[in-house]
Amino acid sequence: MAVKSKAKRELDFSGGWGYAPSPESTDHIRLEKKYGHFINGEFVAPAGGKYYTAYSPSTEKALAEVALGDERDVDRAVRAARGAYNKVWKKMPAAERGKYLFRIARMIQERARELAVIESMDGGKPIRESRDIDVPLAAAHFFYYAGWADKLDYAFPNRNPEPLGVAGQIIPWNFPLLMAAWKIAPALACGNTVVLKPAESTPLTALKLAEIIRDSGLPPGVVNIVTGFGNTGAAIVNHKDVNKIAFTGSTDVGKIIQKATAGTGKKLTLELGGKAANIVFEDAPLDQAVEGIINGIFFNQGHVCCAGSRLFVQEGVADKLIKKLKDRIETLIVGDPLDKNTDIGAINSKEQLEKINYYIKVGKEEGAEMWQSSCAIPSKGYYCKPTLFLNASQSHRIVQEEIFGPVLTVQTFRTIEEVIEKANNIPFGLSAGVWTDKGSRIFNMTGKLRAGVIWANTYNKFDPTSPFGGYKESGFGREGGIHGLGAYLKID
Amino acid sequence: MSRIDFSQTPQIDQVSVEERVARLNSRSIKKASKVEGLKLALNMIDLTTLEGKDTAGKVKQMCYKAMHPHDELPGLPTTAAVCVYPTFVGLAKKALGNSGVKVASVATAFPSGQSTREIKIKDTKFAVAEGADEVDMVISRGEFLAGNYNYVFDEIAQVKEACGVARLKVILETGELSTLDNVRRASEIAMRAGADFIKTSTGKIQPAATQPVTLVMLEAIRDYYYETGVMIGMKPAGGISTAKGALNYLVMVKETLGNAWMTNQWFRFGASSLTNDILMQLAKEASGLYQSGDYFSKD
């Protein structure tokens, strides 16, 4: 066999045997033409009579009309939640509360396929992810917190745990159904009632969850879902009869909410942005580290608060690792979210794509070396190629600011002290990843990295038992585990 | 001549390897893609019989099957090769004529490899003299596990020399190597000592080929290619009996090494019952009807 010269040693991932399109069927789903708010156990028209269009970011086609909520709708929902709390939910034996949560979990599993397809249509994420990760985890959260409902005295012994009352919850567009589960399940398990607003670009799976909640027989008013834009969320935050606010979203809006709730006596938890460091040491198993890097930044198109968006690689293995990374990126398929072979789906909205493209422009202007996959992207819909910025510097804006897309900055480092300092030198503190074969180094790093969630030799692993949340401008409070209960209780 | 220090080969993370395999297995291969993949897989099979009870009759019938997997279906390729014990090489060579199907012979005291260097070289030379196109040797696992890496290296190099123009496949017997780190290490030794192919197993013990082991070996081949420009072939053997499984392996090769390795020059399946499962799937794709094992010859 001929020996290829160094210049010609390339691998060809584009030619030869290809994968035919393998689209998931949409025949079985049911979407109404128009959705009202879900208040007091039924769908009701918005007070202002106005609706907006939910559309698919992959086809740019309209999917449904969704109610536009205003202060009157929010007020109606809060009064329903308060009524249900005072008359029914507060008085219900805890084990009975748990039974409703178990039932909702089971119904999510039964309708899993429909939920996964709608999630991909509405939000753009690949069906492989919504089917294998989002929907199963959503059910898992309900199952997990169902079990805690009647064991709160065990979770907080001698501390007299009591529910707070009515919880106002505002969730983002990156994991629409899963974020609804993360919010609703613990709130209900602890005996609270809920008014929840899904993100404006992804209301549909929350509304399908509302159908499940209605069909589960959950007493009317325990969960209320109001759709709308930022002002709808503001109405929830500012409502006088809400006892607790839980928000997941951008740091900027988190700050607005914190200012708005200061001095009101409302309890608050915030889960905000991130710019996680994914750190590869020279002794790390490199091919496996590459897999973790890919998962860290391209999972869900990079629309992940805990995404590993800053790669730090020890200089001695940088060239080797980057070559492997590029090879791996070349095998990623960007395309129709409903195709089972799609690795990276559509960007969630036109606005988000513009934001990402803006940062790509900034990165180029700042002098970082841009590299993109040679993959094709569909001509319709909002798509972004997986992008690397090599030779990035700590002071580049693309390194300091959250891009929230499939864009990875790459920096080299020499010593462990250097990388700890650079990893922490950011306003955020949500997550981090460490790749090394040396166990002692993992323990050393996890103590010194200022991040709420640290993964060692893996990335983006979630479980309802495991608390999730950040430091600094990534927010405060934890969701998941026993920690997640504390946010929804008054404890002595 | 300076010796390579094989005690410093790359570390492998088993958990992540298994996850990567699971992700690769989530690829959905349908319709034209599936038919093309199955035909490719069929053409990559080394149809194998390595039993104590093998006879001339058994080998002859298997050779016919290699050339004519299922004449009822038009447009099928032959298998890549047949794989037999050295005493049947001459017979197989004659039976296969100029069909293009190669003859691979096991050698070096297959399957245990527990014999003297002299005997193993003689075994190899005999197979080659009988006309074998390819030789499938076994490494000395005992010596490897005892840390005598240079012994293993030298043995492979000497067998390669004895092969002449025949291509050498080196069987690592990964089922005895215990860890993926060891699989990587054995792969490094074999490639650098002159292997044309690295192969997982003899098929005589459990576990035989597995996807995680195969992925580690493919990644070793890739690193070696980048370092030296030399292409090395890969053969998982034993335990692959379903068409779906074969497609999973092809996805692994495609997404690790790319298009250049997607021919039977560089990738083989060591299998026997896989053939009929592939044929049943191809027949189903062609006719739309599920098939029965009774319609396909077992030889």
| Burial class, A158, CB count within 10 angstroms (exposed 0-12 / middle 13-18 / buried 19+) | exposed
Cβ atoms of residues B160 and B192 within 8 Å:
no
- Give domain limits for chain B: 17-286
Note whether residue A461 is domain-resident: no
Number of domains in chain A: 2
Position B4 scores a pLDDT of: 85
Compute CA distances A15 → A226, A323, A329, B261, whole Å: 49, 19, 15, 11
- Using pLDDT thresholds of 50, 70 and 90, give the confidence band for residue A457: very high
- pLDDT in the model for residue A446: 86
**pLDDT tens readout for residues A262-276:** 999 999 999 999 999
Q: What is the CA radius of gyration of chain B?
A: 19
Distance CA B243, CA A309 (A): 39
The CATH number of the structural domain formed by B17-286 is: 3.20.20.70
Percentage of residues in chain A having pLDDT higher than 70: 99
Read off the amino acid at residue A70: D
SS3 state of residue A288: helix
Packed helices A71-84 and A230-238: angle between N→C axes, nearest 10 degrees: 50
Per the CB < 8 Å rule, is A458 touching B258? no
Asked whether residue A246 is assigned to any structural domain, the reply reads yes
Choose the mutation target among A3, A22, A287 for the interface with B, i.e. most B CBs under 10 Å. A287
Q: Does A319 touch chain B (CB under 8 A)?
A: no
Same domain for A388 and A485, yes or no, is: no
CA distance A197 to chain B (A): 34
Say whether both A299 and A331 belong to one domain.
yes
Neighbours of B265 (CB within 10 A): 16
Please count the other Cβ atoms lying within 10 Å of the Cβ belonging to residue B289: 8
Supply angle C-alpha A357, A360, A361, rounded to 5.
90
Q: What is the pLDDT of residue A194?
A: 98
| Mutation target vs A (from B259, B262, B264; most A CBs, 10 A cutoff) | B259
The answer to whether A36 and A45 have CB atoms below 8 angstroms apart is yes
Question: 10 Å Cβ neighbour count for A215?
Answer: 12
> What's the pLDDT score for residue A30?
97
pLDDT, one tens digit for every residue, chain B (299 residues): 568 899 999 999 999 999 999 999 999 999 999 999 999 999 999 999 999 999 999 999 999 999 999 999 999 999 999 999 999 999 999 999 999 999 999 999 999 999 999 999 999 999 999 999 999 999 999 999 999 999 999 999 999 999 999 999 999 999 999 999 999 999 999 999 999 999 999 999 999 999 999 999 999 999 999 999 999 999 999 999 999 999 999 999 999 999 999 999 999 999 989 999 999 999 999 999 999 989 898 87
B243-257 and B211-228 helices, crossing angle to 10°: 30
- Which are the contacts of A181, defined by CB distance < 8 A and separation ≥ 6? A108, A137, A138, A139, A141, A142, A209
Buried b (16+ CB within 10 A) or exposed e, B111-137: bebeeeeeebbebbbbbbebebbbbbb
- The per-residue pLDDT for B211 is 98
Cβ partners under 8 Å of residue B237, min gap 6: B46, B48, B171, B199, B200, B201, B202, B203, B208, B209, B269, B270, B271
The Cα-based distances of B16 to B164, B209, B214 in angstroms read: 40, 18, 14
Rounded to a whole number of angstroms, the distance from the CA of A436 to the nearest CA of chain B is 10
Known catalytic residues of A are 271, 305
Higher pLDDT, B295 or A62: A62
Instruction: Say whether B285 sits in a helix, a strand or coil.
Output: helix
ipTM of the assembly?
0.91
C-alpha dihedral over A146, A147, A151, A157, to 10 degrees? -100
Say what the pLDDT of residue A4 is: 64
- Residue in chain B closest to A294 (alpha carbons) equals B20
Please indicate, yes or no, whether residues A194 and A294 belong to a single structural domain of this protein: no
- Asked if A60 and A232 touch (Cβ cutoff 8 Å), the reply is no
Q: Where are the alpha helices (DSSP H) in A217-349?
A: 230-238, 251-261, 286-298, 318-330
Residue range of the domain that includes A226 = 34-271+472-490
* Number of alpha helices (DSSP H) and beta strands (DSSP E) in chain B: 11, 8
Retrieve residue A287's tokens.
């091919």
Q: Dump pLDDT digits (tens) for A17-55.
A: 999 999 999 999 999 999 999 999 999 999 999 999 999
CATH code of the domain containing A212: 3.40.605.10
CATH of the domain at A402: 3.40.309.10
A283 shares its domain with A266: no
Give the mean pLDDT of A52-75: 97
Q: Are A20 and B33 a contacting pair at CB < 8 A? A: yes
Q: Which of A105, A119, A53 shows the shortest CA–CA distance to A345?
A: A119
**Would you give the DSSP letter of residue A214?**
H
Residue-wise pLDDT for A119-157, tens only, equals 999 999 999 999 999 999 999 999 999 999 999 999 999
| Residue A481, Ramachandran bin (φ over 0: left; ψ between -120 and 50: alpha; else beta) | left
Looking at the fold, whether A348 and A209 belong to one and the same domain comes out as no
Q: Using 50, 70 and 90 to split pLDDT, how confident is the model at A15?
A: confident
Contact A285 B258 (CB under 8 A): no
Reduce the DSSP state of residue B99 to 3 states and report it. coil
**Contact of B267 with B253, CB cutoff 8 Å:** yes
Q: Is residue A137 domain-shared with residue A246, that is, in the same domain? A: yes
CA atoms of A76 and A83, how far apart (whole Å): 11
Give the model's pLDDT for residue A14. Answer: 86
Tell me which H or E stretch contains A247.
strand A244-248
Q: Which residues pair with A369 in a beta bridge?
A: A390
pLDDT at A7 over 70: no
- Cβ–Cβ gap A341/B27 under 8 Å: yes
Residue B15 with chain A: CB contacts under 8 Å:
457-458
Same domain, A237 and A385: no
- Both A190 and A334 in a single domain? no
Positive or negative, the Cα torsion across A24, A27, A29, A33? positive
- CB–CB contact A3 B31 (8 Å): no
Rounded distance between C-alpha atoms, residue B53 and residue A53, angstroms: 73
Instruction: Supply the pLDDT for residue A3.
Output: 65
3-state secondary structure of A191: coil
Query: CB–CB of B226 and A9 under 8 A?
Result: yes
Q: Which of B195, B134, B142 is nearest to B170 (CA)?
A: B195
State how far the Cα of A87 lies from the Cα of A96, in Å rounded to an integer. Answer: 15
The catalytic site residues of B sit at: 136, 199, 235
**Residues A113 and A194 placed together within one structural domain of the fold:** yes
Q: What is the pLDDT of residue A456?
A: 96
pLDDT score of A109 more than 80: yes
* Confidence at residue A452, expressed as pLDDT on a 0 to 100 scale: 96
Q: Please list every residue in chain A whose beta carbon sits closer than 8 Å to the beta carbon of residue B220.
A: none
Q: What is the pLDDT of residue B2?
A: 63
pLDDT at B299: 77
Q: Distance from A55 to chain B by nearest Cα, in Å? A: 27
Q: Is A381 found in the same domain as A316? A: yes
Task: Give yes or no: residues A235 and A317 share one domain.
Answer: no
Identify the closest residue of chain A to B257 by CA–CA distance. Answer: A11
Name every chain B residue with its beta carbon within 8 A of the beta carbon of A340: 26, 28
For B18, name the nearest residue in chain A, comparing CA atoms only.
Answer: A288
pLDDT value at position A304?
96
Cβ–Cβ under 8 Å, residues A456 and A305:
no
Q: Looking only at Cα atoms, what is the longest distance across chain B? A: 63
- The reply to whether A2 falls in a domain is no
Q: From the list B23, B37, B258, which residue is nearest A13 (CB)?
A: B258
Quick one: A170 and A304 in the same domain?
Answer: no
CB-closest option in B30, B222, B259 to A22: B30
> Token pair of B45, please?
């099979």
How close A190 gets to chain B, by Cα (Å)?
Answer: 36
Residue A301 is encoded by which pair of tokens? 């198109």
> How does residue A2 score in pLDDT terms, banded at 50, 70 and 90?
low
SS3 A479: strand
